[in-house]
Amino acid sequence: MTVQFDKLAKLDLKMLRTLLVLIETKNVSQSAERLDLQQSTVSYQLGKLREVLNDPLLIRSGRGFEPSPYAQLVQPALTAHFNAMESLLFDSHFDAKTSTGTLRLACHRNGSRHFIRSLISELKGRLPLVRLEIVDWTDQVPSMLREGLMDFALGFEPEQVSQLQVLPIVDVGYQLIMAKDHPMAKGIISEQNVFDYPHAIISTNKAVERWLDYLADKHNKKRSIEFASTSMEFTTMAIEGTQRLMFVADIKDGFFDSYKVTTQPAPFIARQNIKLLFHERASIDPLKACMLDIIMETANKVLKP
């Protein structure tokens, strides 16, 4: 198989290493000192990089420089490729039992209880020295994945997924959450009468909100939203003892058992697919590639019916 490297042939590893140091230091003289090069050499390499990549890379800002948007974009992936190349060429092999590091996962709180417990148990056995940090899903998750601030995310696919890999996990339906003494708790629920009461929303799930807005327009109903939060706990607390309604994925993990609420299926809301999102560098780094396998195996075992 013939591989074309026509564009890369105009660069070399030392120049790309210089680029990463320049992005980090934002200073030519500091970069030269760190690289043990003459400042003129670093300036020459920066000029060559600008020419080949057709981007300023460093933009003057006040008395210093700031990385261009393009430079900020390529930095995480370029760093991952350098690390992977060094590991490939100089590390004897990847040993899951002795590997160390920190991996970061974002996920929606609803439906994650059993999954997280199983994931932690699996991680303890296969990557015992690796630390796992878990955070709630927010609107910043896609950009955090691209910037290398997050390694994996499990949830509903956001609108902007450029540069991200997206793997389907499981289709889920929706359920309606309400106070135990709500008028609809023992009545008939339809896609019309759910708009007779105010709503509380999880603001990180845009797809279900768009669907509910569509249903409101379809039936010429006005939708009243009295509470919004990114927190599943806070939104559920805002339901208790009120006439508010909340719509969430029906993953049957017992999340709502400790609250004074009841659940009813909401078949009139279109099913959605829970996805695993990650940057392509996760498949290059041996540790992250191992974690990717663990997440997929755990999700398939726990989340799929």
- Predicted TM-score (pTM) of this structure: 0.65
Which domains are delineated in the chain? 5-91 (1.10.10.10), 101-171+273-303 (3.40.190.10), 174-270 (3.40.190.10)
Find out whether 240 and 185 touch, Cβ atoms under 8 Å. Answer: no
Tally Cβ neighbours within 10 Å of residue 209.
18
Per-residue pLDDT in tens (0 to 9) along the chain, 305 residues: 445 567 777 788 888 999 999 998 888 889 998 888 899 999 999 999 999 899 999 998 877 789 999 999 988 888 888 887 877 776 657 788 988 989 999 988 766 788 899 999 999 999 999 999 999 888 888 889 988 889 999 988 887 788 889 999 888 889 999 999 999 998 889 999 999 999 999 877 778 888 999 999 999 999 999 999 888 889 999 999 999 999 998 887 788 888 999 999 999 998 888 899 998 778 778 889 899 999 999 988 888 76
What pLDDT is recorded for position 298? 92
Side-chain-side CA neighbours of 124 within 13 Å: the count stands at 6
Cβ-count burial of 125 within 10 angstroms (0-12 exposed, 13-18 middle, 19+ buried)?
Answer: exposed
